[in-house]
Amino acid sequence: MTAYAAETLYREGQLSVEQIAQRLHIPKSMLYAYMCYRTVPVGGRAAAR
């Protein structure tokens, strides 16, 4: 469930990676692992779309 929440918050584009990690009480490294697990492109301008 946390991976889905992380993906949703990330795709909304309103919060930074650090803010998402803080909100979900996980380290940023775990957030990036969740994005990888959910096959979400991270970084660059493509991720913001």
pLDDT digits (tens, 9 = 90+) for 18-48: 999 999 999 999 999 999 999 998 876 544 4
Using DSSP, how many helices (H) and how many strands (E) does the chain show? 3, 0
Q: Are 18 and 28 in contact, with CB atoms under 8 Å apart?
A: yes
| pLDDT computed for residue 49 by the predictor | 46
Q: What is the mean pLDDT of residues 4-31?
A: 94
